[in-house]
Structure 1
């Protein structure tokens, strides 16, 4: 191993730390962005024209906000919201500081994915629940979320995989993690074994997330 990846071995503690930093960024931003994205996605579905809580003004505002945030390239978003990042965490550099742009970068994407997943729920089932006097909250919980759970899991996995990619991009501003190691050390110092090893570790993370997500989605759909 020392002959294949000498530079990785020489900085193994820093490399291991970078792995945990990537996991930290992914998990924390996934949880917060997941809650925001799920809420916004549900609101988009229920307030759209013909929705169970139709509100054209609210839908139009939410729709435009999601489209606007999705249209901003992430590398530019890092700079645009740096004042907000500094206000919230006191710095614009580091692993914790990266959580703010990561959340803003991924939750609009997730919201749109949730919207699409819930729109696949059979409209007839929703109408039947309405005719039986179910409240909007009951329809959201018992129909939209339960019936669409398999698709929700699948789009969640796609979102987490995209988020892992964004954590590596955040490494360009010194956020830490595998992206930072690959760019600031591997690429900048021409130590290719570091860059290649970081890439392999990221691919392994993606494989684990994808495999677990596919298994969970299949298991949910059996019941």
Structure 2
């Protein structure tokens, strides 16, 4: 004979919320009739339904706007720190540029003085050459009028040779000074090029800093709007 539904239901009873937590049930619902009501499963079903709806709602709800606001604040702080670092680097480069410019001006003044001294030395050397040439011509044209004997003529020729040697040494020294001046002018040209490169780099970095300032102001405005929308 098959078992009836009544017998099957009396044999297999599904445990309810009240059966699982009898102590909690007695604590929350002291009256006997309400405990029986809970034991029947009605309240358990209602609680489960509320729990399912709460889980579904939390699953489909978007992320908290405050989280996005904190991320924007962090991004703003990072951007501000980069701007401060860039401004410090720009200040350092500006100081280096000022020092190089001052040194370059000092070098240019020194080289200008060296050029002037070299030009004066070349002028003196040219006069010495002219005087030596005149003495040589006089020696060839009027040897008897200048000297009284062969010994005096030999001494005069020796004196002229010494003057030629001194003149050659002076000319060699001027050539050396001219080469040194050319090297210093070359170094000065390289320093001037370095200064121009640094000046160009400072201009680029200054433009980058101004762009960062504009971006920072835009981010601050966006953050302010986001905070107002959250409030």
TM-score (norm 1): 0.29
State which structure, 1 or 2, has the greater radius of gyration over its C-alpha atoms: 2
When normalised by structure 2's length, the TM-score is 0.28
Structure showing the higher helix proportion among its residues:
2
